[in-house]
Amino acid sequence: MLKKKNGWEMDELRIVGGAMVILAFATALLVLIPYMLLKEIKAPDGLKPYTSEQLAGRQVYIENGCVYCHSQQPRDPSLGPDGKRGWGRPSVASDYKYDTPHLLGTMRTGPDLFNIGARQPSKDWHLGHLYQPRAYTPGSIMPAYPFLFEVRNGPAKEGEEVVNLPPGHTKEGEVVIAKPQALALVQYLQSLNHTYPVLNSQIRETRDSN
Amino acid sequence: MDFTAALLLATFLVSLFALFLYIWTMSKGMFGDSMNAALSIFNKNELGTVEDPAATVSQLRELQETVTGKTQLTDDILKEDLRAVSEADQSSSLAVGICLTLAVIWLVLASFAGLISSIKLHSPDWLTQYSWITFGRIRPIHLNLVAYGWCSLAGIGVALFLIPRLLKTKLIGANYAIFGGALWTTGVFLGVVLIATGYSSGLEWLEFPWQVGALLVIGGAFVGVPLWLTLLNRKVDHLYVSVWYIAAGLLWFPTLYLIANIPGLHFGVQQATMNWWFAHNVLGLWFTPIGLATAYYLIPKILGKPIYSYNLSLLGFWSLAFFYSQVGGHHLIGGPVPTWLITMSIVQSMMMTIPVFSVAVNLHMTVLGNFKALIYSPTLRFIVLGTMLYTVASVQGAMEALRSVNQVTHFTHFTVAHAHLGLYGFFSMVMFGAIYFIMPRVMNWEWPYPRLIALHFWLVLIGFSIYIIWLSIGGWLQGLAMLDPDTPFMKSVALTIPYLEARSIGGGLMTLGHLVFAFHFFAMGWKFGPKRLGAALIGTAVANKLWSRLRGKHA
């Protein structure tokens, strides 16, 4: 049992106390204060909430882990040529008003997608690219997503979305039909367009801090 | 920016205050009498006696000779001491055995998931037909299996073994730990199935949906119960530094995971800061404490000599807790988050040099002069390699937080290499070593094929070297290419391919090493090979026979 030679012998109290106080301090700084600062932030005028179809597409994006290769956070020009690559202006916190879970990402195995909808507005391109990325971007290492499509012989039925692939990527008589998940995902990708102007709000001053 | 300035000033003042408080407590001798404290892990006459249950008899003899310069073993360790150690080991053996077995199974599965992910990066049309095995699912499956399957359960198993030894008290309430471990492993299993079927939460390191994550919180809390029960009934006065690390780690993890998984609370960019607060702290406040606790116990124990500086080890503990808990923001450099947060994290990342050097000086100075011992002690080999890579990983991590370095490494495979240096190079290596030490005590059985330990060591060492060297280079070049506006993006992809292929080769060798390890582990479980000859476990006839055999050869 505890021996009380003096108060300091109660080591376990020091461990528990010290460990939890330190964790509380870090949590206040990294979780609580950002929470309070960002809670009341308003969406920029140009940003619209997602439609239910786009949200379904966002779910497909999450399911298939697109975030592990694609960031959604163009950086300031002082940190990298993101703008020059056509990825858009540096993002600000209010751009993500409707984004839960966040999909900022930490990798750029593929390009940043924050403005892919503006760069690549074509539905056909997106569908075909998801079916076989290398048909559009030679050397791409993005996985193909055949499970989002159905390949069938013969003509498509009424209301089905046929994917128009570049020549040589389907066999004679075969049609590639987009499943609903693929269509939803493309709607989400098309919605990724943050080209509206924003004020560089107070919570982001990457420029002065370099 | 008034708020920013005030906050940074406050952080600085708190840090300064903490430092002075620490110096004051040290000067008042409140950390206990340092050398006696460092000796508290040894029984009477154990000092100067090497210990490595994974070593063969001849290895043990060579080890003893290398470390102490004597061919003769010291006086017999007192029988009652031996019996106490044996009782301590037996009190935890079932819980430890279960946790470690589960950990090894997860390790094998995790290795295959990792290997598949790696191959998919340079062969993107391989196995694309099945959604559950697409890169974006198998990669988080790999991460979660490694982090919560292999590393966490191995860490829990090792911690459960260390607790009774450190407290010189039988483990009380081992069944709570078994129940906790079962909940935990159920959580991992369900979580991985959910990721495979597309029910990921979408947050890195937190992919398990919160309903399943709750099993890890509850399981983790249950695992902690025997520690606290044993702690409150302990027979030692002083708590050795390993106890501090284990106790704090077992408190920190459930708290972190709980806060991170509160449903409906986190949003947008705030969720991103929370995400990296969690992801970094799970490394710094969960895996690092357990790994260091293990190293702080086993290195002195195997060598039969105390840690270099006990006070330094406590400085390492408190500074790790304080600085590491605030570094997460550096993952969002250049991101849409408040600048003060990033600056603070960068400052604290640099401050991490304090705990890192405390630990490095301490552990490396203990081993210094005894490097030859690594030849003879299979356990020490893994652990010393692990602690060396801890130093490398930590220094590298601090550097990566600097804006100039981060600019290159952020968003690249370099970060992936760095993560592996920490969780594999440091933590997993230490766990391998610890398992080789612990299992003979748990099973009361020898490792049946000692050569397989060496094979495991060389396979993972060579595989990991290939992995880490080539992926770091590839990631760095990728980062440089991305920073050059005149280089097309696709070039940054193309140039990484040979390095990604090298990673697969390295990963393949590592996987092979794990298969050897798992085979050996289960061979022992099924009791192939000779029965344990004793060493320090049972201080009866068996051990005496061993000692006399050792002496006899040198007489």
| Mean pLDDT within B435-464 | 94
CB atoms within 10 A of CB B20: 10
Say if residues A94 and A38 touch (Cβ distance below 8 Å): no
Measured CA to CA, the distance from residue B156 to residue B188 in angstroms comes to: 14
Chain B residues closer than 8 Å to A3 by CB: 237
Examine the pLDDT at B203 and tell me if it is beyond 90: yes
Q: Which residue has the tokens 């008042």?
A: B28
Quick: pLDDT tens for A94-103. Answer: 999 999 999 9
Percent of chain B clearing pLDDT 90 (strictly above): 66
Distance from C-alpha of B471 to C-alpha of A107, rounded to nearest angstrom = 14
Q: Which residue has the higher pLDDT, A183 or B442?
A: A183
User: Which pLDDT score, from 0 to 100, does residue A18 have?
Assistant: 87
Indicate yes or no: CB of B200 within 8 angstroms of CB of A12: no
Cis preceding linkage at A101, omega within 30: yes
Question: Rounded mean pLDDT of B14-29?
Answer: 71
| pLDDT-flagged residues of chain A (< 50) | 1-8, 202-210
How many beta carbons lie within 10 A of that of residue B550, not counting itself? 18
Nearest-CA distance A155 → chain B (Å): 23
Please report which confidence band the pLDDT of residue B488 belongs to, taking 50, 70 and 90 as the band edges: very high
Longest dimension (CA), chain B: 77
User: So what's the pLDDT on residue A131?
Assistant: 97
Neighbours of A191 (CB within 10 A): 18
Stretch 488-547 of chain B: residues touching chain A, C-beta under 8 Å: 489-490, 492-494, 497, 500
Partners of A175 in beta bridges: A152
Question: Which range, A158-162, B215-219, B341-345, B536-540, has the best average confidence (pLDDT)?
Answer: B215-219
Q: Are the Cβ atoms of A208 and B232 closer than 8 angstroms?
A: no
Q: What pLDDT sits at residue A55?
A: 98
pLDDT range class, residue B88, cuts 50, 70, 90 = confident
d(CA A122, CA A125): 5
pTM of the model: 0.92
Enter the tokens of residue A147.
């499970």
* Segment B44-58, tens digit of pLDDT: 777 888 888 888 888
Strand partners, A150: A177
Burial class from Cβ neighbours inside 10 Å (0-12, 13-18, 19+) for residue B482 reads buried
So what's the pLDDT on residue B315? 83
Q: What is the pLDDT of residues B118-171, one digit of tens each?
A: 999 999 999 999 999 999 999 999 999 999 999 999 999 999 999 999 998 999
> How does pLDDT run across B271-314, given as a tens digit for each residue?
999 999 999 999 999 999 999 999 999 999 999 999 988 888 88
Whole-number percent of chain B with pLDDT over 70: 91
Q: Which residues of A touch B202 (CB under 8 A)?
A: 62, 67, 101, 103
- Position B541 scores a pLDDT of 44
Within a 10 A sphere around the Cβ of B358, how many other Cβ atoms?
A: 21
Beta pairing partners, B17: none
**pLDDT higher than 70, residue B36:** yes
* Residue A136: predicted pLDDT: 95
CB B285 within 8 A of CB B249: yes
- Taking only the tens place, the pLDDT of each residue in B211-228 is 999 999 999 999 999 999
B433 or B42, which is more confident?
A: B433
- ipTM for the predicted complex: 0.92
Is the pLDDT at B7 greater than 80, yes or no?
Answer: no
- CA-CA distance, B131 to B239, in Å (whole number)? 50
Q: How does DSSP assign B58-81, residue by residue?
A: HHHHHHHHHHHS-SS--SPPPHHH
Residue B28 has pLDDT above 70, yes or no: no
Nearest CB among A34, A75, A144 relative to B124 is that of A144
Residue B80 pLDDT exceeds 80: no
Per-residue pLDDT at B10 = 77
Mutate to test the interface with B, among A185, A203, A208, A210 (most CBs of B within 10 A): A203
Does residue B60 or residue B286 have the better pLDDT? B286
User: Which of residues 212 through 251 in chain B touch A, CB cutoff 8 A?
Assistant: 228, 231-233, 237-239, 243-244, 247-248, 251
The secondary structure of B281-339, three-state, reads HHHHHHHHHHHHHHHHHHHHHHHCCCCCCHHHHHHHHHHHHHHHCCCHHHHHCCCCCCH
How far apart, in whole angstroms, are the C-alpha atoms of residue B292 and residue B297? Answer: 8
Q: What angle do CA B430, B163, A25 make, to 5 degrees?
A: 80
Its sign, for the CA torsion B38, B42, B46, B51, is negative
Task: Collect all residues of chain B within an 8 Å Cβ-Cβ radius of residue A67.
Answer: 136, 202, 204
How far, in Å, are A56, A145, A188, A190 from residue A185 at the CA level? Answer: 7, 12, 5, 9
The confidence score (pLDDT) of residue A206 equals: 40
Taking CA atoms, B102 is separated from B99, B153, B181, B354, B521, in Å, by: 5, 7, 9, 35, 11
- The answer to whether the CB atoms of B411 and A3 lie below 8 A apart is no
Give the pLDDT of residue B265.
94
pLDDT over threshold 50, residue B404: yes
Instruction: Report whether pLDDT(B536) > 70.
Output: no
pLDDT score, position A167 = 87
Chain B residue whose CA is closest to A35: B270
Rounded to an integer, what distance in angstroms lies between the CA atom of residue B240 and that of residue B234? 12
**In one letter, which amino acid is B35?**
M
Residue B515, min C-alpha distance to chain A (Å): 28
Residues B445 and B426: their CA atoms lie apart, in Å, by 27
pLDDT at position B1 is: 52
